[in-house]
Amino acid sequence: ANLSKAQSEFADAARKLDDAQADIDAIESPSWYVLDRSKNVGAQSHISDAERIERIAQVFPLIFFLVAALVALTTMTRMVEEERLMIGTMKALGYGNRAITRKYLLYAAMSGTLGIAVGLAMGNFAFPGVIINAYTMVYALPPLKFRFHVWYAVISSVLMLAGILFATYAACRSSLREVPASLMRPKAPKSGKRIFLEKIRPLWRRMKFSHKVTARNLLLYKKRFFMTVIGVAGCTALLLTGFGIRDCVGNVVDKQYGGIFQYNLMAVRYQEDTGSEWEELLRENGIEEWTCAEYLSQKAWDSGESKSVSATAVIPQDDSRLSDFIRLRDAKTGEEYEFTSQSVFITRKMSELLHIGVGDTLTLTGSGEERVSLTVSAVVENYISTYVYIGRDAFREAFGREPVCRVTLARSDATAQERDAVAEHLLADDNTMSASFNENVRESFDRMIGKVNYVVYVLIVSAGALAFIVLYNLININIAERQREIATIKVLGFYDREVAAYIYRENTISALLGMLAGLVLGIFLCHFVVDTAQVDAVMFYPDIPAYAFGLAALLTIVFTVLVNGLLYFKLRRIDMAGSMKAIE
């Protein structure tokens, strides 16, 4: 009896094993996907950020070098002008021009080398530390290891030192042309000349005497006038570019998730399921508006298949409803496009990268070897990532199948506190792979792109410091060269405030003209920098807001007023009797 019972149990177990084996044999062979680092969102984001910083770094050093060369020229010009008596004495004692020039070149080389050493330390350790520490708020990065780039250091040091020495040589050359007797006397004031404003009689007659003097002085000292205008223009352009980049980069997220994407919830399903159960689940969470689509990861090629970009193909279940959830419009005119079953829309970034437009052929390749060709019917506005929007009929003709709509785009009125609960409720369904709100993605992009602001702040502070130095040096030279003139008008009864206004008026007009020129130059510079800093994943439009112009202009004015205020005390200390004494 026990034997027969055991045999019966063995037979049942064998049947179960056979059934299990049959189930195993019925399983289809799985598809393997090998994903490298390029498919990781975090890695790709970090690579894009690094590329963005690298491209910005390719542009600004040249601009700062030119402005720094101007600073060196003004500084050494000021030094040589203040030491005219010493240069004349050395020439009278028999020193040659080369020996005198060597003295100032040695001074410039020593001070320049010290400045270069400080700059290399800050450029290799301080500034990178600020920027990298900002990015640690977004990425989990290993401890920062500073690496001294010898080649970069040599190139930047040689270029900067060469610029300083050339500026010093230029400043010395003009003074050394004079004879010792001339150098040992104060520099003779320039002869006054008629200016073009005097030919405009109605205007000239209505100008005050002090304003006429200012106009003549501005055009009398042309070199200093143009140096001030050029220096201030360069710094103002840098300031405007910094503010423009900050706004351009910072507004990308708002434009994409506030202007283009009209949905705020995306749910991805394992299998296509648009039945009543899914619809009921959406309504249970307060979602009344949604549409479904298929999202395909593709590689888009240009007409000649010589260049490609990664793109996402979007095929809606209902062609007429796609525009309700994704705004399809022209980036320049804002014209809304009608999306039909035959439409093939590409984003502007893809159009620029592949150099294709309306009527051109776009080739798409997926994970396999299949290649499909589509004719572009419109180019639409987009800022983050690249997309191809394909109508159902166009998709069916190209791919030979119906779209599998596993992605749901929806609008939810859930508050910030309710979003997690809604997402968890949707994820509780076994067929839901993921559910995410745009607000969460938006916050992530905000943190990621917002870190570029730290680079911009460094640029703005550096540009402001250069503007201050340029103005201080040039105004100081102006006062040093005209001490006898200033002393004369003080003897004639001008009060300290009137003397200050006499000098400040010229400085302010030069700075304002430089500021206006810088605002115009900054527009082109900002466009150039933004175009250079472009990356494939993000579209930047260099639309400089009005407040950026106001801030750049305001900072320039503040620096001018601050420098004028600092030099007011120098004007007060000018000795009237000593300045007017003849050197003989």
C-alpha distances (whole Å) from 484 to each of 187, 477, 555, 581 are 10, 13, 32, 9
Cα gap 293→298, rounded to integer Å = 15
Q: How confident is the model at residue 34 (pLDDT cuts 50, 70, 90)?
A: low
Q: Are 331 and 280 in contact (CB under 8 A)?
A: no
Cα gap 93→140, rounded to integer Å = 68
Q: Tokens 């809304």 correspond to what residue?
A: 336
Q: Is 473 helix (H, G, I), strand (E, B) or coil?
A: helix
Mean pLDDT of the 504-512 span: 84
C-alpha distances (whole Å) from 222 to each of 228, 347, 422 are 10, 51, 70
- On the 0-12 / 13-18 / 19+ scale of CB atoms within 10 A, 482 is buried
Compute the C-alpha angle 157/158/160, nearest 5°.
65
Through-space distance between the first and last CA atoms of the chain, rounded to whole angstroms:
142
At residue 531, does pLDDT exceed 60? yes
At residue 134, does pLDDT exceed 60? no
The confidence score (pLDDT) of residue 517 equals: 92
Mean pLDDT of the 39-68 span: 69
What DSSP letter does each residue of 506-538 carry, written as one string? HHHHHHHHHHHHHHHHHHHHHHHHHHHT-BTTB
pTM for the predicted model, two decimal places:
0.68
Q: Is 365 helix (H, G, I), strand (E, B) or coil?
A: strand
Mean pLDDT of the 493-519 span: 84
The per-residue pLDDT for range 387-409, each reduced to its tens digit, is 999 999 999 988 888 888 888 89
Torsion of CA 299, 305, 306, 312, to 10 degrees: -20
Q: Which two tokens stand for residue 563?
A: 């420098």
